Structure 1
Amino acid sequence: MEQDKEQFDHEIKLGYGIGDLRFGLTMDDVEEIMGEPEEIEESDEEDEFEHKAWNYWDTGFSFYFDQEDDYRLSCIETANPNVTLWGKKIFELSQQEVEDLFKQHGIQSVEKEKIEDNVTCLSYDKEMIDLYFEQGKLLAVNFGVHMDDNLEVLWPAESNEG
């Protein structure tokens, strides 16, 4: 049963997921919440990890399931303008405002990389989130499950009290 789009919780919870979509869910779990994907992409030989990507173009979400993790949800990419982080609609913020938001939450360590002429990526490695900006405007956010220092996946608990 697909959730009413108006009632969907758009709050990104770092290391946890977004709304009811928690990292570690199976493909069936995600389909139950989001409905059938509009497109399913499979990794090809050049890709480092074998994975499947489920794209929901209408709502601006892509969900990634790694074969290494038994095809459990491990990464989410979104261009949905309603997405929030710490209660702020990040797609309405400038690149500097997003950087300031992370600083307000004690997160200083950021890598900035120019990908193309006008595209800059802010990477917060420990928090497993990348934010892509074009000329200062947020294009997309990619965030994933956290890992420990030994690169072991830290699956979130069933419920998130944070």
Structure 2
Amino acid sequence: MPGPLVIGRYCSIAKTVRSAPINHPFDAITTHPALYERKFGVVENDIHYDDPQVIEDDVWIGHNAMILPSCRRIGRGSIIGAGAIVTRDVPRYAVVAGNPAKILRERFPTELQQALEESCWWMLDLQGLRDLVRDHPDLAFHPSVENIRAERWAERTGQ
């Protein structure tokens, strides 16, 4: 059995995304699942990873992306392009695509990333997000360091 999958808040994951929980043992006598799945009667226990695969908050994963077992963490605010084969961890706010997936760019400049991290906006419930859009649509749709830092996030998120 694979390790657990942890998915954060406000993630957009296409229905066709796949996550491979474990690799075939390519250095063993055979790559057949009989060496890692007990249902075949060869091994007593399923082989699994103890650490979870983590998809942090506000991640967008496009159609037909494949997350391989060597990727244990997909960082907050990142975007994974359609058809990407993700073979390693994805940093926060990175835009990745391809086979293997490579960083194409950062979603936001570093200072804006820091302001977003400090805000913890993803802790808003849907009503809080609705209120934010109503009260400050410019912040919701065109965030800047200034408008993020001017907001009273602790009051909105209850943090």
TM-score normalised to the size of structure 1?
0.21
Q: Which has the larger radius of gyration?
A: 2
Greater per-residue helix proportion = 2
TM-score normalised to the size of structure 2?
0.21
Larger RCO of the pair (alpha carbons < 8 Å, separation 6+): 1
